[in-house]
Amino acid sequence: MGPLTALIIAANIRQPGLTIALENAGFQVIEASDSGEGVRHVLEQTPSIVVIGEDMPPLAGVELLPLLRSLTDSPIITLGAGGETPMVDALLNGADVYLAIPVNLRELMARIRALLRRYGAAKPCGEPYSPS
C-alpha cells in the first residue's frame, strides 16, 4: 500500500489547520477547489480519505456524495454548518461522518483514524491508537 492520501474538496471551508493536521498525521494532502476537480482526483487516484465541504460548486455536497460513493469506497467526511437536516442528508447520501464547522481537529483526526481502522487502511502517523 502506498502513502496515505487525503483529498480535501472544499471551496469555502474555513477550517484553520486542517491541511497541517493531516500532513502532521502522515497524509499526502491533495486539495480540490471545486467538485469537478475533486471527482477528477478520485478518478486519477484512490484517496485514503475524502473530506468535503457541504457547499461545493457546481454540486452541493449532498449532490456530490452519491457520485463520489459510486466512484470510491474510501471513507468520506462531510464538513458543514451543522443542523439535523444537513447532517442526516449527508449521511443518507454517502458520507461516513458529518462534522459541524468549526471542527475540533483532535476529534476529526480521531474519527479519521477510526474510519481507517474500520476500512482496513494502514495507520496514519501521529498519535498511536490507545483505547484510553
- In a domain, residue 129? The reply is no
Structural domains of the chain, count: 1
Q: What is the pLDDT of residue 120?
A: 79
Q: What is the 3-state secondary structure (H, E, C) of the chain?
A: CCCCEEEEECCCCCCCCHHHHHHHCCCEEEEECCHHHHHHHHHHCCCCEEEEECCCCCCCHHHHHHHHHHHCCCCEEEEECCCHHHHHHHHHCCCCEEEECCCCHHHHHHHHHHHHHHHCCCCCCCCCCCCC
- In a domain, residue 132? The reply is no
Q: What is the pLDDT of residue 129?
A: 39
Mean pLDDT by 10 residues, the chain (132 residues): 83 76 93 91 94 82 91 94 91 95 92 92 45 38
- In a domain, residue 131? The reply is no
Give the domain CATH number at 43: 3.40.50.2300
